[in-house]
Every structure is written in structure tokens, then in C-alpha cells.
Amino acid sequence: MSKPLVVITGASSGIGAAIAQHMSDAGHPLLLLARRLEKLEAMNLPNTLCRQVDVTDTAVLSTAIQEAEALYGPVDCLVNNAGKMLLGNIESQSAEEWREMFDVNVLALMNCMQAVLADMKSRGRGTILNISSIAGVKTFINHAAYCGTKYAVSAISETVREEVAASGVRIMTLCPGAVETELLSHTTSEEIIKAYEEWKASIGGAINAEDIARTAMFMYSQPQHVNIREVQIAATGQDR
């Protein structure tokens, strides 16, 4: 392949699917990972391996990466996009929802980083782009556990960036504000969903997955010696 392999988690919809399309259009072979295999395959992208993978399962994750590398060569870019947003108030939210978010948003992200980092360091190049959130930079009401996971993503990303900087590997963090994706539908409180939708309307609407994909492509497309460490992106009208 003339372009190196890109791995994208949570690639079946929203931001992940948009980044997959842009990476494919740029000529990259892809490994797309998600729970909904049919949606990955429906994208019908060339030079793409689609696998139904729970990113919290390190063995299955490693197998999928090895399979893709056997076809397309080593992973040059990992986009950690898989995530859950289960909004709730700390007084009443289910502890199971906290665990779900920390398992996917934090532990699985670390699993994926660990799966590719050693090889990237040995080659002296590679990029890991972690999708965090504005909720990893500032707090929001009814976001306590979610903010906790995204602050963790931002802190982990910056820490690992420092650890691997001398090796030539780049760790980047992309922090979107409100985005029109399926993410809000994971929330179980209808009252919180209603309030969130009213807030989005009051700011003139959210940005969309294409806005995030273009930004991700700009970050990754810089020369390897240039690391855009963190980008915050939101609708101009977003007030918080």
C-alpha cells in the first residue's frame, strides 16, 4: 500500500465513520472496529478490514490488529474514538453506568494504546489520536462521571505524549464540544436529554461529525516531526 494503515475504534457511526471515510479518501487502508459489524461493512470502503470487536477485550483487539497488519503493514495511526456518554446526576445515576463509561472511555482506550505503542516506538514513528471532549477540559452539570472519564483521557494522552516524545511517536488529543451524533441517545434520563437538546437549540445547534473528521485529518496530516498536541473544537455559538 502507498499509504500506511489506520485503525479506528467506534467506527460504525458519527465521528468514527466520518474519519474512516476521510482516511479512505486519502488512500489509507483501514482496520475499522465497532460492535455493529453490519454498519462497518455497509460503508463499503476499499482496502478495509471490518471487525466486530469489544475494545475492552484485549485478546480480541490484539488479534484484529495483527490480522490487519498482516494485510496492510504496521499501524501508523490509531484513532481512539469508541466511547459512551451516559449523562446523569451523581445522586441518582446508576453505578453500572459509571462502570460502562470508565470501561469504554478510559480502560479500553488504554488497551488500544498499549496494543500499538511498542511497535510504533521501535519504528520511531506513529500517531495516536485520542478523541476526548470539551468535557475533558471543563465541567458540566449532569456530566460528573462522563467528565471524569474525559478528563482521564486528556490526562492520559498528555502523560503518554511526554513519555514517548523522544521516540518520535505522536500522541494527539481532539476535544469536541456538542456534536450531532448518536452519543446523546445512550443517556437514559429523558429529562436530561430534553434539557441538552434545548441547550443545543439555544446556541444555534451543534457541529457535525464532518467538522471533527476534517480537524482529525489536519492534525494527522502534519509532518511526523510536528505534533498538534490538543485541539478544542465547538460551534461558535457554544457558550460553555
CA distance linking residue 228 with residue 15, whole number of Å? 19
Cβ atoms of residues 175 and 137 within 8 Å: yes
What's the grid cell of residue 187? Answer: 443517556
Decide if 120 contacts 70 (C-beta within 8 A): no
Among all residues, which ones are annotated catalytic?
146
Q: Contact 171/161 with Cβ under 8 angstroms?
A: yes
